[in-house]
Structure 1
Amino acid sequence: MKRGFVVLVMLLVIACLNLAGQSARKYIKAGEDFVRNGMLEDAIAQFSRAIDEDPSSPDGYVMRARAYEMTGNIGLAYDDYRRANNFTPDDTGILYNLGRMCNMLGSAGKSTPGEKTRFFSEAVAYLQNAIRAEFRNGRLYTEKVVSLIGLEQWDRALGASDTALQMRDDAVNYYHQGLIYQKKGDDNMARRQLEKAVTKDKSFSAARLELARVLVRQGDANSALGQCNMVIQQDSKNVEAYLTRAMVYETKLDYPSAINDLS
């Protein structure tokens, strides 16, 4: 009799869990529809209801984190990815996104030096856990490079970047190497890697402007000016491009043009 009662209770618990899971999936689907229509606040509300229905499932937290990220609320996205990670600590997708959120929080202009160190260090830990599970996943190494650059650990950053390039021969990895070699005092290698970055992706404005700064230091102001002009042709509202071009004009002693770009 007692055994039968226990079995009955277990069946009732399982049935309740199944119903909760089905209800949660219904809210997640509704939230996904809102995301597709650009109604992010409504989507967040639906994902929150899914979490209320099934708080032990990572799915609702992951979906809400993505929606928060789309609204620019990186802090809340980070919190939800951490909650999801509690339920699935070995999920490389969640670990990767946690690393990304930490890097974004560490890079934020309002973060203090202590916060930068904490977030970038945390990102390295999450990404390293992901790499242990998927050591051939190139994007994990690329994101780890961002963390190490943030920590100003240039030798470690270069080592991780070399591995990232072996995994993915792309513009972002060459750009990272251009940044690192500058910090290591090797402008020749920085120039070479940044030139590869803009060859791989001709619209990569950050790499072009970084290349322009290297060219100025090497005394090639005309080539630097050309890089700035290409960025401005692609995006006439790129403020950083005008600031960089003003610096180039200043080295050419063309002060009226420099002032015009700064105004």
Structure 2
Amino acid sequence: MGKMEEGIEYLKNQKFEDAAKAFTEAIDEDPGNPVGYINFGNLLLHLQDFERAKNFFEKAIELDENAMTAYYGLGNMYFEQEQFGKAQQNFEAALQKGLENGDVYFMLGMTLVQQDKSRFALPYLQRAAELNTEDVDAQFQYGLALAQSQQIDLAMDQMKEVLKLETEHSDAHYNLGVAHLYYADTDKALHHFDEALRIQPDHVLAGNGKEKVLEMLKQNNNENE
């Protein structure tokens, strides 16, 4: 096992000092290889040492302008600092350089969501959901983007997919409750709000949704008397 592989194993096991040592040795052995700098940048990003992480990612790009995972690392760094415009630019660059995985599509979608551009985020979140079929967050965020784009039926189908992966997903139940309320199906709406509250008793939005349904039912009963 080479120093690079050792460093990655140490990083996976959260042995950060050992990882730093291994990556440093890997860079010393092959200073022209951008991968060493990218791995060290990822370590620094994990430690939230953003300025030094930026330097390592930029060094990797200096060595290889097509180092797609360096752009992805920069995108994550800017996202962590809530600099969403710069994060978007780097995630887009990673895609343009050929990075094709669900994570980069997901993160690009989320940067757009954070900039109130849910409509533009939708195709990226859809692609992330297609590539990461077992990723609950990817499936949920795609469903949320569908709902925000007023594609209610598709959003409902997607939230049901989320519940297949994680039956105790309170936010998926809440969003299904909202969708059923949109169609004035109070019984199903109440069921999902109750489920959300069972899973997460302090779910404020579900609590508000339930109150709204109960008020509607009370009003309907009064009108029928």
Per the normalisation by structure 1, the TM-score is 0.59
- Taking the aligned partners of 1:36 and 1:94, their CA distance within structure 2 comes to 19
User: Which residue of structure 2 aligns with residue 189 of structure 1?
Assistant: 154
Asked whether the 8 Å contact 1:148–1:154 carries over to 2, the reply is yes
Quick one: structure 1 residues 191 and 72, their matched pair in 2 at CA, closer, same or farther if it must change by over 3 Å?
farther
Q: CA deviation at 1:54?
A: 5.2
Quick one: structure 1 residues 93 and 124, their matched pair in 2 at CA, closer, same or farther if it must change by over 3 Å?
closer
Query: Structure 1 residue aligned with 2:95, among 128, 149, 153?
Result: 128
Letter in 1 for 2:199: M
User: Which residue of structure 2 aligns with residue 117 of structure 1?
Assistant: 85
- Taking the aligned partners of 1:251 and 1:176, their CA distance within structure 2 comes to 25
User: Which residue of structure 1 aligns with residue 57 of structure 2?
Assistant: 81
Offset from partner CA, 1:154-190 (integer Å, 9 cap, x none): 3322233344445454444432222212322344433
Asked whether the 8 Å contact 2:61–2:67 carries over to 1, the reply is yes
SS of the residue aligned with 1:179?
helix
User: Which residue of structure 1 aligns with residue 122 of structure 2?
Assistant: 158
- Taking the aligned partners of 1:104 and 1:169, their CA distance within structure 2 comes to 25
Letter in 2 for 1:97: G
Offset from partner CA, 1:119-157 (integer Å, 9 cap, x none): 33x234323323xx356x444433332233233333322
- Taking the aligned partners of 1:97 and 1:189, their CA distance within structure 2 comes to 32
Gaps of 5+ in 1: 1-24, 107-114, 233-240, 254-263
Q: How does 1:13-162 map to 2 (within 5 A)?
A: 31=7, 35=11, 38-45=14-21, 47-48=23-24, 51=27, 55-74=31-50, 76-106=52-82, 115-120=83-88, 122-130=89-97, 133=98, 137-162=101-126
User: Which residue of structure 2 aligns with residue 215 of structure 1?
Assistant: 177
Q: How does 1:166-205 map to 2 (within 5 A)?
A: 166-170=130-134, 171-202=136-167, 205=169
What percentage of residue pairs aligned between the two structures are identical? 18
Quick one: structure 1 residues 152 and 84, their matched pair in 2 at CA, closer, same or farther if it must change by over 3 Å?
same
Quick one: structure 1 residues 66 and 128, their matched pair in 2 at CA, closer, same or farther if it must change by over 3 Å?
closer
- Taking the aligned partners of 1:198 and 1:123, their CA distance within structure 2 comes to 32
Structure having the higher Rg: 1
- Taking the aligned partners of 1:169 and 1:211, their CA distance within structure 2 comes to 19
Moved more, 222-231 or 159-168: 159-168
Indicate yes or no: 2:191 matched with 1:227: no
Q: CA deviation at 1:70?
A: 3.2
Alignment size in residue pairs: 206
Asked whether the 8 Å contact 2:20–2:43 carries over to 1, the reply is yes
Letter in 2 for 1:151: Q
Asked whether the 8 Å contact 2:193–2:210 carries over to 1, the reply is no
Asked whether the 8 Å contact 1:99–1:126 carries over to 2, the reply is no
Quick one: structure 1 residues 32 and 173, their matched pair in 2 at CA, closer, same or farther if it must change by over 3 Å?
closer
SS of the residue aligned with 2:81?
helix
Gaps of 5+ in 2: 215-225
Q: CA deviation at 1:226?
A: 0.6
Quick one: structure 1 residues 118 and 195, their matched pair in 2 at CA, closer, same or farther if it must change by over 3 Å?
same
Q: CA deviation at 1:64?
A: 1.6
CA-atom RMSD in angstroms: 3.7
